[in-house]
Structure 1
Amino acid sequence: MTHRKAGTLYVVATPIGNLEDMTPRAARILGEVDRVAAEDTRHSARLLSHLGVKVSMLSLHEHNEAQRVETLDAYLEAGENIALISDAGTPLISDPGFVLVRELRARNRHVVPLPGACALVTALSGAGLPTDRFVFCGFLPAKQGARRQQLVEWKTRAETLVFYESPHRIQATLEALHEQFDKRRIVLARELTKTFETFLQGTASELLAMLEEDPNQARGEFVVMVEGNKAEMDLEFQEIKAQTLLDALLAEGVGVKQAASVAARLMGGRKQVWYARLQAIKSGD
């Protein structure tokens, strides 16, 4: 009797609203696998019905994920191919799946991710905030004190901050942002890819006023994006400029003493500090 080759777990991104965002590859895989592990089987059954897919399903959510590992691993060992999907978007991104993928990779199972819809990437691409570096923060804590503490910890970050928020907490979150990020530019992306998709921008106080004026803008799921700390960005830019200058001076054969004088004149600061830094670069420290 021939032993069947172990199966593959496909991590499949599904639409975050507009069903036309389902990729042909994702639709094909869902139609080919032996089983689908879904965050909410009733919710995902509607998507599968729309795609004309009939397949065995089982639930995998935050409360049962650890217990599902052995079951799904046994299916893979038996040669079944399985698709992991969440209610919307890419699994594992503030959705279940991390524990499963981690454990299966530790067992050398074949895991194949399929790219597709993701709310944070969609929001960033249309927000007009810097995207060269950003920090995805998931959901803020529900309790006021923990939420404030989390924002205090992120306050000095130079990267664009991105997190998700629900409609019943968006006002409290904006109030907390007003307290900690008063003058920062914030963009709210709401109901992405859906009929009432909206991008609102302004300071936290301006956004609170917009929501008060039009309560409909507080409905739906949000991606909240906050510009980074400009002071930190300026410091990092100055550091890059300084390092580039020092490297160029040394590459041109300028002596350490003379290079320190040039750096002090162009960048400011004491010559002794620049001299020590140049000496460290030359010695490879």
Structure 2
Amino acid sequence: MSGEHPTEEGAGTLYVVATPIGNLADITLRALEVLRSVAFVVAEDTRHTRKLLSAYQIRVPVLSCHAHTAPEGLEKIVGILKGGCSVAVVTDAGTPGISDPGTALIHLALENGRPVVPVPGPSAVITALSVSGLPPQPFAFLGFPPPKGGRRTKFFEEYGALAMTLVLYESPRRLGRTLQDILHHWGNRRVAVARELTKVHEEVFRGMVSQAVEAFREPTRGEVTLVVEGASALSTPKAEAEGWKEALAACLARGETVKEAVEKIHRAFKVRRREVYRTALELDRDRD
């Protein structure tokens, strides 16, 4: 296989190459073969990718393709493919095109009739799903929630009723707020919070969303994958509502007013407002 002098079979091919999400040993033998053979490697972060290539003594020119790459930059890469040389596209971690800017290049290559070949390997979505303890199929991958505003509210309102396991990506600095929004919009479901997957400090928290809110109240580090129980997978209404008193106590402990806490729990758990209010007053008195 050669990128500089491509054979008829591999001429001008865009290889979509999965790379490790943490542990460099997770790269596949085929991925290494492809990366050594192509004319160029196209990377989200060239510095990050050069470290990977250096670890395996791969000396191939690296081009940049990130979220702010202009259309002219993408056209230049497709021009390389049209010229008969093969290119490998990689992301910083995992499989290109999954919540990553490589998607635009893949689409443009297809539009221009270039062969696009997958070189499968690590994926944070599948890795987290496999150890979550939640039903692995069916599932929906939702990517990153919008960071703020109406689009964020619509995101949680739109997907909360899906009858399947839900998988999301989130940055560590927004993890706490996202868990609170899940509790608020989707209710107290089972969740797995997978952090630093395949790395030294790998952590997979499994429990209810209300418990995760408390567990990740302090800032954390590392990219996070959330696996959330789907709407149809929830237990009976009685079982579903079992955690509302715990969540209510957590709200009051954070300093929320009785009114704020009651409204939040009423909306999240669909428990009668009067019952939540009565319980909140009891909890508030017990704290005095």
TM-score (norm 2): 0.75
1:220 corresponds in structure 2 to: 222
Structure 1: segments with no counterpart, 5+ residues: 235-285
**Cα shift at 1:99:** 1.7
C-alpha spacing 1:35/1:231, structure 2 compared with 1 (3 Å): closer
Matches within 5 A, 1:265-280: none
Deviates most, 72-81 or 49-58: 72-81
C-alpha spacing 1:231/1:197, structure 2 compared with 1 (3 Å): closer
Q: Is 1:86 paired with 2:88?
A: no
Q: 154, 163, 166: which is aligned to 2:171? A: 166
1:152 corresponds in structure 2 to: 157
Per-residue displacement from partner, 1:23-67 (whole Å, max 9, x unpaired)? 000011111111111111111111000010111111001111632
Query: In structure 2, what is the Cα distance between the partners aligned to 1:233 and 1:25?
Result: 44
C-alpha spacing 1:183/1:34, structure 2 compared with 1 (3 Å): same
2:50 corresponds in structure 1 to: 45
Work out the number of aligned pairs and report it: 229
Structure 2 counterpart SS, 1:136: strand
Kindly indicate whether the alpha-carbon contact (under 8 Å) linking 2:43 and 2:89 is maintained by their aligned counterparts in 1. yes
Query: In structure 1, what is the Cα distance between the partners aligned to 2:70 and 2:22?
Result: 25
Structure 1 counterpart SS, 2:146: coil
Query: In structure 1, what is the Cα distance between the partners aligned to 2:198 and 2:52?
Result: 16
Per-residue displacement from partner, 1:97-136 (whole Å, max 9, x unpaired)? 2221112112221111100000000000010111121110
Matches within 5 A, 1:213-252: 215=218, 218-230=220-232
Q: Which amino acid aligns with 1:191?
A: E
Query: In structure 2, what is the Cα distance between the partners aligned to 1:231 and 1:8?
Result: 42
Q: Is 1:55 paired with 2:57?
A: no
Q: Which amino acid aligns with 1:70?
A: E
Percent of aligned positions that are identical: 45
Kindly indicate whether the alpha-carbon contact (under 8 Å) linking 2:164 and 2:233 is maintained by their aligned counterparts in 1. no
Query: In structure 2, what is the Cα distance between the partners aligned to 1:173 and 1:46?
Result: 32
Kindly indicate whether the alpha-carbon contact (under 8 Å) linking 1:10 and 1:114 is maintained by their aligned counterparts in 2. yes
Kindly indicate whether the alpha-carbon contact (under 8 Å) linking 1:66 and 1:99 is maintained by their aligned counterparts in 2. no
Structure 1 counterpart SS, 2:216: helix
Q: Is 1:71 paired with 2:76?
A: yes
Q: 8, 11, 16: which is aligned to 2:16? A: 11
1:178 corresponds in structure 2 to: 183
RMSD: 2.0
Structure 2: segments with no counterpart, 5+ residues: 1-5, 237-288
**Cα shift at 1:183:** 2.0
Q: Is 1:127 paired with 2:132?
A: yes
1:99 corresponds in structure 2 to: 104
Query: In structure 2, what is the Cα distance between the partners aligned to 1:40 and 1:127?
Result: 29
C-alpha spacing 1:155/1:8, structure 2 compared with 1 (3 Å): same
Query: In structure 1, what is the Cα distance between the partners aligned to 2:169 and 2:142?
Result: 8
C-alpha spacing 1:105/1:86, structure 2 compared with 1 (3 Å): same
Q: Which amino acid aligns with 1:12?
A: V
Deviates most, 78-87 or 146-155: 146-155
Query: In structure 2, what is the Cα distance between the partners aligned to 1:60 and 1:161?
Result: 29
Query: In structure 2, what is the Cα distance between the partners aligned to 1:197 and 1:206?
Result: 19
Q: Which amino acid aligns with 2:223?
A: E
**Cα shift at 1:208:** 1.6
C-alpha spacing 1:185/1:36, structure 2 compared with 1 (3 Å): same
Q: Is 1:205 paired with 2:207?
A: no
Per-residue displacement from partner, 1:200-255 (whole Å, max 9, x unpaired)? 1222221121224xx47x22111011111127999xxxxxxxxxxxxxxxxxxxxx
1:247 corresponds in structure 2 to: none
Structure 1 counterpart SS, 2:141: strand
Structure 1 counterpart SS, 2:215: helix
Q: Which amino acid aligns with 1:219?
A: R
Q: Which amino acid aligns with 1:59?
A: S
